[in-house]
Amino acid sequence: MTAPAIELRHIGRVFGTGPKAVTALADVSFDVGPGQIVALLGANGAGKTTLAKILSTSLLPTSGSARVLGLDVVDNVKDVRASLSVVFGGDRGLYTRLSARENLRFFGMLAGVSRAELRHRVPAMLDQVGLTDAADRRVETYSKGMRQRLHIAIGLIAQPRVLLLDEPTIGLDPIEADRLRDSVAGLRSEGVSVLLTSHYLLDVERLADRVVMLESGRVTADMPLTEFVGHAGYAAVIAVRVRGALPDLGGVLPSDVTVDSCDEVSDGAELTLRVRTWRAGLLTQLGALLDSCDVVEVQVRPARLEEAFASFSGRPSGAGRT
Ligand SMILES: Nc1ncnc2c1ncn2[C@@H]1O[C@H](COP(=O)(O)OP(=O)(O)OP(=O)(O)O)[C@@H](O)[C@H]1O
């Protein structure tokens, strides 16, 4: 059987000793499978950075064991470093007076990739992150999103099989963020395993196969994304706006649909329904119940990760975003 890309067993990390000791990680165990994208969620101070530092061999755990592709991070520092790459968000570490192509060549050589190999790999990486057209422009002329995509290309130039990706879409506008997510999603087909930390739940919703949630250094959830989203407690919200009055829906709604709110507006009413489980034919059924009124607009909003996040952390929706 192939070893998990990342294997954490009872990892603990305490900073300091005595009464001032801080337990950053208490007892963390989970795996990232080969080719999987796992999102590591948690509020500020939950222990995400500490875990990333242990995996990237820049910090020792105080208990437990961590393996990358079967290699212990304490005993096999050199091999772990060759297998894993860390990509941080923001502007750090790029040579902005050089072009993307030159940055990639430089970091490739630093990582020990041969010149001959770089001749193939650099254009391939530029293409993979959508920077081919801008490849020979100085990085100082790039948008934040382009810089961030270049970071990912640099992280991948030595062909690591495991990537730690920290806040990849921080500070990006929605279009840039989407492009970046496309680049990350493409890694799955390359067989790269990713541990993604993000405060942006949209990244997680779009990219992750599994979600691991940390709270105060402990794992409070470890499950497939679909199951995690299911913890929102409902599948979707349907908002209906009608002209004129609404019929009395008391007792006629399907059992898995409840009324969230019903408000009068200038020329009619707005009704919000919460659907516990989505099923084929539900909208037709609701349409029939509203047949007698003039429906102006219907919006269906699938359950969002914010609600699931809140249900695990016991905080109100939206508090996951910091
Ligand atoms: N070098 C250190 N010395 C003492 N305490 C530390 C040190 N590094 C981290 N901590 C503490 O460990 C806990 C976990 O911190 P960590 O940075 O891992 O959290 P995080 O989940 O990455 O937070 P954020 O989302 O804010 O980056 C926090 O209470 C933090 O104050």
Per the model's pLDDT, the better-predicted residue between 32 and 318 turns out to be 32
Q: What percent of the chain has pLDDT over 90?
A: 55
Q: Please, where are the H alpha helices in the chain? A: 48-55, 77-83, 100-110, 115-128, 144-156, 174-185, 187-190, 201-207, 225-230, 282-289, 305-313
For residues 129 and 90, is the Cβ–Cβ distance under 8 A?
Answer: no
* For ligand 1, atom 12: residue with the closest CA: 24
Measured from the CB, is residue 47 less than 6 Å from ligand 1? yes
Distance CA 116, CA 130 (A): 22
Structural domains in the chain plus CATH codes: 6-230 (3.40.50.300), 236-302 (3.30.70)
| 251 φ/ψ sector (left φ>0, alpha ψ -120 to 50, else beta) | left
Distance CA 69, CA 33 (A): 10
State the average pLDDT for the chain. 89
Q: Does the structure show a pLDDT above 50 at 322?
A: no
Distance CA 121, CA 129 (A): 12
* For ligand 1, atom 30: residue with the closest CA: 45
The Å distance, Cα 259 to ligand 1 centre, comes to 42
Q: Does the structure show a pLDDT above 70 at 170?
A: yes
The Å distance, Cα 168 to ligand 1 centre, comes to 19
* For ligand 1, atom 18: residue with the closest CA: 47
Q: Please, where are the H alpha helices in 208-304? A: 225-230, 282-289
For residues 236 and 46, is the Cβ–Cβ distance under 8 A?
Answer: no
pTM of the predicted protein model:
0.81
Confidence of residue 314 (pLDDT cuts 50, 70, 90): low
Q: Does the structure show a pLDDT above 80 at 64?
A: yes
ipTM: 0.96
pLDDT (average), residues 161-190 = 85
Token digits of residue 39: 């999102």
Residue corresponding to tokens 């902005």: 96
Closest CA to 149 of 192, 206, 104, 111: 104
* pLDDT in the model for residue 90: 64
The Å distance, Cα 188 to ligand 1 centre, comes to 29
- The DSSP line for 72-120 is ETTT-HHHHHHHEEEEESSSTT--TTSBHHHHHHHHHHHTT--HHHHHH
Per the model's pLDDT, the better-predicted residue between 71 and 199 turns out to be 71
Measured from the CB, is residue 46 less than 6 Å from ligand 1? yes
* For ligand 1, atom 13: residue with the closest CA: 24
pLDDT digits (tens, 9 = 90+) for 185-200: 888 888 899 999 987 8
pLDDT digits (tens, 9 = 90+) for 234-278: 888 899 999 988 888 888 899 889 998 999 888 899 999 999 888
Residue of 17, 25, 49 to mutate, ligand 1, most atoms within 8 A of C-beta: 49
